Chains A and B, each alone.
Chain A
Amino acid sequence: MTDTDNLVLEIYRNVARIRAAELFLQTYIEEHGFGGFWHPGLGQEGLQAGAVQALRRSDYLFQAHRGLGYALSKGLSFERIFADLLGKTTGTVGGKGGGTVHFVDPALGILGQGGTLGSNFPLGVGAALSAQILGEDRVVAIFFGEGAAARGTLYEAALQAGVWKLPVVFVCENNGWAISAPFERHSPTKNVADRAAAFGFPGIVVDGQDAVAVHAAMSEAVERARGGQGPSLIEAMTLRLRGHYEGDRQRYRDDEGALDPVRSRDPVDVLRTRLDAEQYEPIDRAADEEVEAAFALALAAPDAGPEVAFKDVWAE
């Protein structure tokens, strides 16, 4: 197999794993409910896996809230992810989770997740600044939706990252919907990527349903960042297949009859066109088995006790 074949297989493995987990969770939430809100990433698995694949383990990841694809692709195990979702002490936040949680694992470069959208721009650029000050060759990837791109925090952080040529890649997942608002309603221009010009770095639009295309764009941006040439913004055009949260009835949404034919392609199908059935079928089966086994383990883990609510305020 060529390097390209290997890369496609590696990306596919993560895309299939994310998809298996997304579908599993959808069913689980329908049947059992959940101690919080789950923001599904269904339909966005390709770009999440493709982009994170271009990072090293030592690179830093600042996730968005949609799904578990970022953390999984960066190396976090299903067992810990599910334990977080279920509020178990074996999760990354030691039982402080439940529903949409704040996956964290500094050893994997996974530096938490914000509850206030757009707050990860200053944090991520700060982490990049830290790398520059310490002379490390780390790169920071900051994921955000086109909705969060409206925040002034992007303006401040991107401006300062541009001035100091910091090693950052801003990855916008443009899925067309900020809860109930279609992108046209809160953007005067067609693309978030256009905004990068104001900060003096490239803004690239890429087909977010093609994981390999996202990986290629991301690799170039990461190389640029690592080489000291500064930030980039990648806007991956994708589609939110489900509601804002699992259970959202989406009465505001009327795009079902007029889905963009490119953006509504399934990222799993797009990748499969590059593979043979005998290549992806075992991966799919293994992914389902992995998800079920990991979920069972997470479910059996201890629940968070009352003491969890009162600890971790201070470093002693």
Chain B
Amino acid sequence: MSTTVTEAQTEEMTYAQAINRALAEEMRRDDRVWMMGQDIGAMGGVFGVTRGLLEEFGERRVRDTAIVETFIVGGAAGAAMTGTIPVVELQFADFLFIAGDEVLNKLAKWRYMHGGQLELPAVVRAPMGLVGGVGAEHSQCPEAMLLNAPGLKIVLPATPADAKGLLKTAIRDRNPVIFLEHKGLYRVKGEVPVDEDFTVAFGQAAVRREGNDLTIIATAMMVGRSLEAAERLALDGIDVEVVDPRTLVPFDMETIATSVEKTSKVMVVHEAPKTGGAGGEIAARIQEELFFHLDGPVVRIAGADTPIPQHPVLEQLVIPSVEAIEQAARELNAL
């Protein structure tokens, strides 16, 4: 598996196009791969991610469903158990809760409950996060709620190259994968390897920026904001390392340990509400496993403990801004 972008030929494309490319490549590679979801066919998805796939692969493998989230996920589980590889789309990640039993009980537990006799190689693509005025029930980042259900792999791509490489790995994985695409990143452009064998392995964090003074562990849209904060801090001589775990399950503690052993100061940044968020889990592991390397508290910068307001200006107030990340890093660095 290759995770290096440099050695392969690349092409500039958006995060959404990179996902589309991964879907098309995997459907060409393996006839067992198919898709269903609301408006993914003729429309190409409400965010345009699946454009052109119905035309190429036909109605047998690209299926528009009714508004049936429990069926989309439960049907994917049943189809995965019987020899196909469903890659289904929930229009918004918030709808994972509509299919709660199917996600948390069926996908996560059925292999275990049945003594390993069943396999569920399904991928649920779920667009998450703020995108501008879509409100409390269309903007959530639900990764922490999935984290407490052993049996699910949880993927949070932050760049176009990762979106492609991680989705291809998800489709090839024999376990159920919840692929949390960030809606606010769909139009972000980046260089993406064109090689059809390019994949990004699960459980391998990416060091997005190297630094010696402080480690920021950030996911999804917060990776970009943390990098921006790091550039501002660099102007004042504060050298920040930014680590993107890329997958929460499996979780690459090794890369984080290497970074923390170097910097001794850590912040975790995510968009979901702070209370019960994934940051708490990451912080807990760091203090359990790396306590004597720490030179200060593990700080969490996360969403406010409120629902997301619908108002496009107000919504930005409840998730971490570049300024908030920068300020918190300054304070931690000064300790």
Q: Complex Cα distance A156/B68, Å?
A: 5
Question: Does B68 contact A114, Cβ atoms closer than 8 Å?
Answer: no
CB distance from A115 to the nearest CB of B (A): 7
Q: A112 with B113: in contact, given A119-B102, A122-B77 (CB under 8 Å)?
A: yes
Asked if A130 contacts B78 (CB within 8 A), the reply is yes
**Contact residues of A between 104 and 129, Cβ < 8 Å to B:** 104-106, 111-112, 114-116, 119, 121-129
- The CA-CA distance from A126 to B174 in the complex, in Å, is 17
Docked pose: A104 CA to B113 CA in angstroms: 10
B111 touches A157 (CB 8 A): no
A102 within 8 Å of B by Cβ?
yes
Cα A314 to Cα B115 with chains together (Å)? 11
Nearest CB in chain A: distance from B278 CB, A: 19
Are B115 and A95 touching (Cβ within 8 A)? yes
With both beta carbons as reference points, the residue of chain A lying nearest to B114 in the complex is identified as A104
Q: Which of A123, A311, A316 makes the CB contact (< 8 A) with B74?
A: A123
Asked whether A134 is an interface residue with its Cβ less than 8 Å from the other chain, the reply is yes
- B residues 142-178 touching A (CB-CB < 8 Å): 150-151, 174-175
B246 to chain A, nearest CB (A): 18
Residues of A within 8 A of B70 (CB): 122, 152-153, 156-157
Q: Mark A147-170, 1 if CB is under 8 A from B, else 0.
A: 000001100110110011000000
B105 engages A116 (CB within 8 Å): yes
Separation in Å of the B101 CB from the closest CB of chain A?
5
**A54 contacts the other chain (Cβ, under 8 Å)?**
no
Q: Which of B161-209 contact A (CB under 8 A)?
A: 174-175
B residues near A132, Cβ cutoff 8 Å: 60
Cβ of B253 within 8 Å of any chain A Cβ, yes or no, is no
Residue of B nearest to A105 (CB): B117
The reply to whether the CB of B34 lies closer than 8 angstroms to some CB of chain A is: yes
A1 at the interface (CB under 8 A from B): no
**Does A92 reach chain B (CB closer than 8 Å)?**
yes
In the complex, the chain B residue whose C-beta lies closest to that of A89 is B115
B42 at the interface (CB under 8 A from A): no
Point out the residues of chain B lying under 8 angstroms from A316, CB to CB. 174
Query: 1/0 per residue B66-83: CB within 8 Å of A?
Result: 101111011111111111
In the complex, which residues of chain A have a beta carbon less than 8 angstroms from the beta carbon of B101? 116, 119, 153
A315 to B81, CA, bound (A): 13
Would A122 and B73 count as touching, CB distance under 8 A? yes
For residue B116, CB closer than 8 A to chain A, the reply is yes
Chain B interface residue count, Cβ-Cβ cutoff 8 angstroms: 43
B83-123 vs A, CB cutoff 8 Å, 1 = contact: the mask equals 11010000000000000011001100011111111110100
Answer whether residue B274 sits at the interface, using C-beta atoms and an 8 A cutoff.
no
Most central of B61, B66, B74 by chain A CB within 10 Å: B74
CA distance A134 to B79 in the complex (A): 10
Pair B115/A126 contact, Cβ less than 8 Å: no
B10 within 8 A of A: no
Cβ contact within 8 Å between A104 and B115? yes
Which residue from B74, B82, B119 sits with its C-beta under 8 Å from A315? B119
Assess whether A119 is in contact with B83, with CB atoms less than 8 Å apart: no
- With CB as the reference atom, state the residue of chain A lying closest to B173: A315
Q: Is B2 an interface residue (CB 8 A)?
A: no
- What residues on A are CB-neighbors of B34 within 8 Å? 133
Q: In the docked arrangement, what's the CA distance between A236 and B300, Å?
A: 57
Q: Within the assembled complex, what's the spacing in Å between the Cα atoms of A104 and B68?
A: 27
B65: Cβ under 8 A from any A Cβ:
yes
Judge if A300 is at the interface, Cβ distance under 8 Å: no
B68 touches A102 (CB 8 A): no
* Residue contact A119 to B114, C-beta cutoff 8 Å: no
> Known contacts A116-B105, A153-B70, A157-B71: does B78 contact A122 (CB below 8 Å)?
yes
Q: List 10 A-B contacts (CB under 8 A).
A: A94-B115, A96-B112, A96-B115, A112-B110, A112-B118, A121-B74, A126-B80, A133-B79, A156-B69, A163-B66
Known: A123-B75, A152-B70. 17 other contacts (CB 8 A): A60-B82, A92-B115, A94-B117, A104-B115, A104-B117, A104-B118, A116-B101, A119-B101, A121-B74, A127-B82, A130-B84, A133-B34, A133-B60, A133-B61, A156-B70, A160-B68, A160-B75
